Amino acid sequence: MNDMTRPDATDPPYLYPGYRSTTLRAPKQPLVQLPAGTLDVPFATVGKAFVKDGDNDLTVHGKAGAPLGERMILTGRLLDDTGRPIRKSLVEIWQANASGRYHHGGDQHDAPLDPNFAGLGRTMTDDDGRYRFMTVKPGSYPWPNHPNAWRPQHIHFSLLGNAPVQRLVTQMYFPGDPLLALDPIYQSIPEGARERLICRLDLDAGVENYALGYQFDIVLAGAKSTPLGI
Amino acid sequence: MPQRSPSQTVGPYYAIALPWNDGGRVTGCSGERIVLEGHVRDGTGQPVPDALVETWQAPDRDASPSKDGRPHGFGRVSADATGLFRIETAMPRGPVPYLDVTILARGLLRHLHTRVYFADEARVRGEAAMAPLASSPRLATLIARREGAGHYHWDVRLQGEGETVFFAT
């Protein structure tokens, strides 16, 4: 049985009253501990055909040209907690445009949509666990959690890993963002672990006179399972 | 050793990227076709229209690769405005069949892991993996109700009365 308020030193608790939506959605009963390995069952990998050329470049899908905003290249590795690369694994991202507006009907923030930016990307990691995206830096936006609540700039990540035990959905933040100190979603992560979600400026990953580089590694739980071939 | 990346909520706008075309129709699994439907509800019993439900099961060993690269044995579907989700798949293999299930939503800072069984309670109670729940009435929250040939219903209650059992990972 887990302590629901502080389940471990890495993940946020389910109930974090500063983030209001947790109040009615966080389970109140303790999580049940299954026998070790129960969720460490192999998962059929995603095939190459699932990702098309260009799916990792969020700047080339506009009919009328390039999206507005500060162009950036984001690279990193997907690893397990023993440091092994997670190879040929799907990485999915989504984000707001440079003005802080999502291409989603539910987003009513009064900031312009960009007809040249849908804000989604996917790629497969290579044999070294590496991934790479070209995109624009997302803007901050207000949300109705509390008065004057603004989310820090962030990119959402979804990782499947090789087994259900490795599933992870998270958000990547940017260094030096003054909104991090005020954001309950970021602050819900235990102290000492939060910083793992902040990417690093990496000029070498960029392209001179074209795009700034950032670097962000993602570490999933360890799994004994290796992917099932498909 | 690198340290594990913390989880964050999937937020309200994941539909930009995560729901796949036909994601609720599971491929690569042979056997009796089944439909699993249910509602995801919050602590007051209100629907969770922005829930994302994923199901995991072992595909056939000899399944040929899917043409579009989708992983076999995996379902991913958004709930609708009433919190209803629908997965079409094959009855999972094994004497006491089940699907592993992941629930994600705005307001969930970490996803939830649970399981849905397609078997009567006595058999589920005898499962080695369910030993921690062997004497708990809450075990019943993990069992789908058969509503007709190949049709099953299973509700997920995130909190409150009839709260679904969720597992630590």
What pLDDT score does B26 carry? 97
Q: A102 Cβ partners below 8 Å, 6+ apart?
A: A94, A95, A96, A119, B13, B16
Q: Is the Cβ pair B17, A158 closer than 8 Å?
A: yes
> Which one, of B17, B104, B119, lies nearest residue B55 by Cα?
B104
Q: What's the CA gap between B1 and A225, in Å, rounded? A: 19
Write out the H or E segment, with its range, that includes residue B125: helix B121-125
Q: Is the Cβ pair B168, A31 closer than 8 Å?
A: yes
Residue A104: active-site member: no
Tell me if B138 sits within 8 A of B162, measured CB to CB: no
* pLDDT, tens digit (0-9, with 9 covering 90-100), for B112-149: 999 999 999 999 999 999 999 989 999 999 999 999 99
CB-CB neighbours of B102 under 10 Å: 19
Per-residue confidence at A8, pLDDT binned at 50, 70, 90? low
Best mutation target among A32, A77, A180 (most B Cβ atoms within 10 Å) is A32
Is pLDDT at A25 greater than 80 in this prediction? Answer: yes
Residue A210: active-site member: no
* pLDDT, tens digit (0-9, with 9 covering 90-100), for A42-88: 777 898 899 999 999 999 998 889 999 999 999 999 999 999 999 99
* pLDDT, tens digit (0-9, with 9 covering 90-100), for A136-150: 999 999 999 999 999
Average pLDDT of chain A, as a whole number: 92
A120 token code pair: 């989604």
Segment 151-180 of chain A within 8 Å of chain B by CB:
156, 158, 160, 164-165, 167-171
- Angle ∠(A222,A225,A226) on CA atoms, nearest 5: 110
* pLDDT, tens digit (0-9, with 9 covering 90-100), for B40-54: 999 999 999 999 999
Residue A156: active-site member: yes
SS3 category, A229: coil
Q: Is the Cβ pair B7, A168 closer than 8 Å?
A: yes
What pLDDT score does A35 carry? 87
In angstroms and rounded to an integer, the radius of gyration of the C-alpha atoms of chain A is 18
What pLDDT score does A227 carry? 62
Q: What's the CA gap between A83 and A115, in Å, rounded? A: 40
Any idea which of A34-38, A193-197, B19-23, B113-117 has the lowest mean pLDDT?
A34-38
Q: What's the CA gap between A22 and A42, in Å, rounded? A: 31
Q: What are the CA-CA distances from residue A121 to residues A99, A138, A204, B165 (Å)?
A: 18, 13, 22, 34
> Which one, of B60, B10, B111, B72, lies nearest residue A43 by Cα?
B72
Q: Decide: pTM greater than 0.90.
A: yes
Q: Does A113 contact chain B (CB < 8 Å)?
A: no
Min distance B32 CA to chain A CA atoms (Å): 20
Is pLDDT at B164 greater than 70 in this prediction? Answer: yes
Contacts of A121 in chain B (CB under 8 A): 17
What pLDDT score does A230 carry? 37
Q: Is the Cβ pair B166, A27 closer than 8 Å?
A: yes
Q: Is the Cβ pair A48, B69 closer than 8 Å?
A: yes
Write out the H or E segment, with its range, that includes residue A186: helix A184-187
Is pLDDT at B87 greater than 50 in this prediction? Answer: yes
* pLDDT, tens digit (0-9, with 9 covering 90-100), for A148-186: 999 999 999 999 988 888 999 999 999 999 999 999 999
What does the buried/exposed string (b/e) look like for A171-204 if buried means 16 or more CB atoms within 10 Å of the residue's CB?
A: bbbbeebebbeebbbbbbbbeebbebbbbeebee
CB-CB neighbours of A128 under 10 Å: 10
What pLDDT score does A2 carry? 39
What pLDDT score does B64 carry? 84
Is pLDDT at A5 greater than 60 in this prediction? Answer: no
